[in-house]
Amino acid sequence: MAPINLPWNKHEIALLLAYCIMIYNGAISMKNAISILSKRLRYSMEKMGIKVSETYRNENGIALQIQSMNCCLFGAKKGIKCKTLLFKDIASLYNSDKKVFAELLECAIRKYPFVKLDAICDGTVNVDLVECYLKKMLHDLQNNKRKNIIKPTAQNGLLDIKIVLLLPYFSGSKIITVYFFAIIFSLVYK
Protein backbone atom coordinates (compact mmCIF):
# COMPACT_ATOMS: atom_id res chain seq x y z
CA MET A 1 0.00 0.00 0.00
CA ALA A 2 1.35 3.42 -0.98
CA PRO A 3 1.85 6.04 1.73
CA ILE A 4 -0.95 8.57 2.07
CA ASN A 5 -1.24 12.23 2.93
CA LEU A 6 -4.72 13.11 4.25
CA PRO A 7 -6.22 16.56 4.81
CA TRP A 8 -6.49 17.77 8.41
CA ASN A 9 -9.57 16.58 10.30
CA LYS A 10 -11.41 18.37 13.11
CA HIS A 11 -9.75 16.27 15.85
CA GLU A 12 -6.24 17.05 14.62
CA ILE A 13 -7.15 20.73 14.37
CA ALA A 14 -8.52 20.72 17.95
CA LEU A 15 -5.19 19.31 19.17
CA LEU A 16 -3.31 21.87 17.08
CA LEU A 17 -5.37 24.67 18.65
CA ALA A 18 -4.68 23.31 22.14
CA TYR A 19 -0.93 23.24 21.44
CA CYS A 20 -1.12 26.82 20.06
CA ILE A 21 -2.67 27.91 23.34
CA MET A 22 0.02 26.08 25.31
CA ILE A 23 2.67 27.89 23.26
CA TYR A 24 0.91 31.23 23.76
CA ASN A 25 0.67 30.70 27.52
CA GLY A 26 4.35 29.75 27.74
CA ALA A 27 3.70 26.18 28.87
CA ILE A 28 5.79 24.78 26.03
CA SER A 29 8.20 26.15 23.45
CA MET A 30 7.22 26.29 19.80
CA LYS A 31 10.01 23.84 18.94
CA ASN A 32 8.85 21.24 21.47
CA ALA A 33 5.17 21.66 20.61
CA ILE A 34 5.90 21.06 16.94
CA SER A 35 7.96 17.96 17.71
CA ILE A 36 5.45 16.46 20.16
CA LEU A 37 2.38 17.11 18.00
CA SER A 38 4.06 15.78 14.86
CA LYS A 39 5.08 12.55 16.57
CA ARG A 40 1.67 12.21 18.24
CA LEU A 41 -0.26 12.49 14.97
CA ARG A 42 2.14 10.38 12.88
CA TYR A 43 2.40 7.63 15.49
CA SER A 44 -1.38 7.34 15.83
CA MET A 45 -1.85 6.81 12.10
CA GLU A 46 0.96 4.26 11.95
CA LYS A 47 -0.51 2.45 14.97
CA MET A 48 -3.81 2.14 13.05
CA GLY A 49 -1.85 0.40 10.30
CA ILE A 50 -1.96 3.31 7.88
CA LYS A 51 1.29 3.95 6.07
CA VAL A 52 1.92 7.69 5.95
CA SER A 53 4.14 9.67 3.61
CA GLU A 54 7.29 11.49 4.72
CA THR A 55 5.43 14.79 4.62
CA TYR A 56 2.36 13.62 6.57
CA ARG A 57 2.18 15.84 9.68
CA ASN A 58 5.94 16.34 9.65
CA GLU A 59 7.51 19.11 11.70
CA ASN A 60 7.67 21.59 8.81
CA GLY A 61 3.97 21.08 8.09
CA ILE A 62 3.03 21.39 11.76
CA ALA A 63 4.99 24.67 11.99
CA LEU A 64 3.05 26.07 9.01
CA GLN A 65 -0.28 24.95 10.46
CA ILE A 66 0.55 26.55 13.83
CA GLN A 67 1.10 29.86 12.01
CA SER A 68 -2.24 29.40 10.24
CA MET A 69 -4.04 28.60 13.52
CA ASN A 70 -2.42 31.60 15.23
CA CYS A 71 -3.92 33.74 12.48
CA CYS A 72 -7.36 32.22 13.15
CA LEU A 73 -7.09 32.57 16.94
CA PHE A 74 -5.28 35.86 17.36
CA GLY A 75 -5.64 37.58 14.00
CA ALA A 76 -1.88 37.52 13.48
CA LYS A 77 -0.82 39.96 10.78
CA LYS A 78 2.31 38.13 9.65
CA GLY A 79 2.79 34.52 8.72
CA ILE A 80 0.41 32.24 6.90
CA LYS A 81 -3.16 33.50 6.65
CA CYS A 82 -5.96 31.25 7.84
CA LYS A 83 -7.59 30.17 4.58
CA THR A 84 -8.96 26.79 5.65
CA LEU A 85 -12.63 26.95 6.59
CA LEU A 86 -12.32 24.04 9.05
CA PHE A 87 -9.51 25.87 10.92
CA LYS A 88 -11.73 28.96 11.17
CA ASP A 89 -14.68 26.85 12.33
CA ILE A 90 -12.69 25.13 15.10
CA ALA A 91 -11.19 28.45 16.27
CA SER A 92 -14.67 29.97 16.27
CA LEU A 93 -16.01 26.99 18.21
CA TYR A 94 -13.27 27.48 20.83
CA ASN A 95 -14.17 31.14 21.19
CA SER A 96 -17.96 30.69 21.19
CA ASP A 97 -18.78 27.33 22.80
CA LYS A 98 -16.07 26.01 25.12
CA LYS A 99 -18.07 22.95 26.23
CA VAL A 100 -18.58 21.69 22.66
CA PHE A 101 -14.90 22.38 21.91
CA ALA A 102 -13.98 20.46 25.09
CA GLU A 103 -15.94 17.43 23.82
CA LEU A 104 -14.09 17.64 20.51
CA LEU A 105 -10.72 17.97 22.27
CA GLU A 106 -11.50 15.05 24.57
CA CYS A 107 -12.32 12.88 21.55
CA ALA A 108 -9.11 14.06 19.85
CA ILE A 109 -7.02 13.14 22.90
CA ARG A 110 -8.52 9.63 22.82
CA LYS A 111 -8.14 9.28 19.04
CA TYR A 112 -4.55 10.53 19.07
CA PRO A 113 -3.15 9.26 22.38
CA PHE A 114 -0.08 10.70 24.01
CA VAL A 115 3.16 9.15 22.79
CA LYS A 116 6.04 8.99 25.23
CA LEU A 117 9.26 8.71 23.32
CA ASP A 118 12.64 9.59 24.72
CA ALA A 119 13.64 11.65 21.71
CA ILE A 120 10.34 13.51 21.45
CA CYS A 121 11.77 16.95 22.21
CA ASP A 122 15.00 18.70 23.05
CA GLY A 123 15.00 17.69 26.72
CA THR A 124 14.10 21.11 28.12
CA VAL A 125 10.53 20.13 28.92
CA ASN A 126 8.94 17.24 30.76
CA VAL A 127 6.57 15.65 28.22
CA ASP A 128 4.40 14.25 31.03
CA LEU A 129 3.89 17.82 32.18
CA VAL A 130 2.76 18.85 28.69
CA GLU A 131 0.13 16.12 28.73
CA CYS A 132 -0.89 17.20 32.24
CA TYR A 133 -1.31 20.77 30.98
CA LEU A 134 -3.43 19.53 28.06
CA LYS A 135 -5.70 17.58 30.40
CA LYS A 136 -5.93 20.57 32.77
CA MET A 137 -6.96 22.73 29.81
CA LEU A 138 -9.61 20.15 28.89
CA HIS A 139 -10.88 20.04 32.49
CA ASP A 140 -11.13 23.84 32.62
CA LEU A 141 -13.01 23.95 29.33
CA GLN A 142 -15.43 21.23 30.45
CA ASN A 143 -16.14 23.10 33.68
CA ASN A 144 -16.27 26.49 31.95
CA LYS A 145 -13.51 27.81 34.24
CA ARG A 146 -11.59 29.63 31.54
CA LYS A 147 -13.54 32.18 29.50
CA ASN A 148 -10.73 33.23 27.17
CA ILE A 149 -7.11 32.51 26.49
CA ILE A 150 -5.03 33.61 29.48
CA LYS A 151 -3.10 36.68 28.46
CA PRO A 152 0.42 36.87 29.89
CA THR A 153 0.85 39.45 32.63
CA ALA A 154 3.89 40.43 34.62
CA GLN A 155 2.88 38.03 37.39
CA ASN A 156 2.11 35.17 34.98
CA GLY A 157 5.37 35.85 33.15
CA LEU A 158 7.28 35.61 36.42
CA LEU A 159 5.61 32.31 37.27
CA ASP A 160 6.31 31.00 33.76
CA ILE A 161 10.00 31.77 34.28
CA LYS A 162 9.94 29.91 37.59
CA ILE A 163 8.31 26.90 35.93
CA VAL A 164 10.96 26.78 33.19
CA LEU A 165 13.81 27.15 35.69
CA LEU A 166 12.48 24.61 38.20
CA LEU A 167 11.18 21.88 35.90
CA PRO A 168 14.55 20.18 35.39
CA TYR A 169 14.75 19.66 39.16
CA PHE A 170 11.32 18.03 39.32
CA SER A 171 11.42 15.97 36.13
CA GLY A 172 12.68 12.82 37.90
CA SER A 173 9.55 12.20 39.94
CA LYS A 174 6.11 12.14 38.34
CA ILE A 175 4.33 12.63 41.66
CA ILE A 176 6.40 15.67 42.60
CA THR A 177 6.10 17.09 39.08
CA VAL A 178 2.31 16.79 39.01
CA TYR A 179 2.03 18.20 42.54
CA PHE A 180 4.33 21.12 41.67
CA PHE A 181 2.35 21.71 38.48
CA ALA A 182 -0.95 21.75 40.42
CA ILE A 183 0.43 24.35 42.83
CA ILE A 184 1.56 26.58 39.97
CA PHE A 185 -1.86 26.29 38.30
CA SER A 186 -3.62 27.22 41.50
CA LEU A 187 -1.49 30.38 41.65
CA VAL A 188 -1.85 31.35 37.98
CA TYR A 189 -5.50 30.49 37.35
CA LYS A 190 -7.23 31.67 40.55
Give the model's pLDDT for residue 183. 52
Q: 90-103 burial, b if ≥16 CB within 10 A, otherwise e?
A: bbebbeeebeebbe
Residue 151 has what pLDDT?
A: 41
The DSSP bridge partners found for residue 4 are 52
Q: What is the mean pLDDT of residues 89-115?
A: 90
Given a cut of 50, whether residue 54 has pLDDT beyond it is yes
**104-113 pLDDT per residue, tens:** 999 999 898 8
CA pair distance 62, 68, nearest whole angstrom: 10
Residues with Cβ within 8 Å of 49's Cβ and at least 6 positions away in sequence, in order, are none
Worst-scoring range by mean pLDDT, 29-38, 40-49, 61-70, 161-170? 161-170
One-letter amino acid of 34 = I
* pLDDT in the model for residue 15: 95
State the pLDDT at residue 5.
74
